[in-house]
Amino acid sequence: MKKMSDPELDELRISSEPAFQGRMLKVFVDKAKLPNGRTSTREVVRHPGAAAVLAVLADGRILLEKQYRYALGTVMYEIPAGKLDPGEEPEHCARRELAEETGYEADRWEYLTAIATTPGFTDEVIHLYKATGLHQHGQHLDEDETLKLEAFTMEEIRAAVRDGRLYDAKSLAALGAASLLGRL
């Protein structure tokens, strides 16, 4: 992911104080110097990053997971994804998550892009991959995961987007990136 700078827009961190630390997230309250010389408070959620996989079966259908998302209080459709372990490369994470959550391994991997999920308050970046040449070996979910797998045709994906069943940002970004890059 390319970092950019513009002296008329850049902000400089003056201080950073931890406010909360959980199993996955850390929240900091920072003081920042603005380009106009003033200072402001920035609340930042630090996240280790993640990888997500657009898994395409031999017949062209796309694997989606259906799982309950506590924060939103609803069941959602999403592509397989998971957070990076310390020091883990994004592609390794993508391969691990595909195997654990879906029971599939892939012969071919393509890097699509990286997305900044919500840059207004978190540093989370998700690396998006496309996986093909899938073969099933057996799912092995984490003890706190419960999900169902469903395979969708592209027309079913479009219908799910139209009727509001598919609205997960990483999934839409992966589908969009693959389409824009001519890989779908």
Residues recognised as catalytic: 143
SS3 letters across the chain: CCCCCCCCCCCEEEEEEEEEECCCCEEEEEEEECCCCCEEEEEEEECCCEEEEEEECCCCCEEEEEEEECCCCEEEEECCEEECCCCCCHHHHHHHHHHHHHCEEEEEEEEEEEEECCCCCECCEEEEEEEEEEEECCCCCCCCCCCEEEEECHHHHHHHHHCCCCCCHHHHHHHHHHHHCCCC
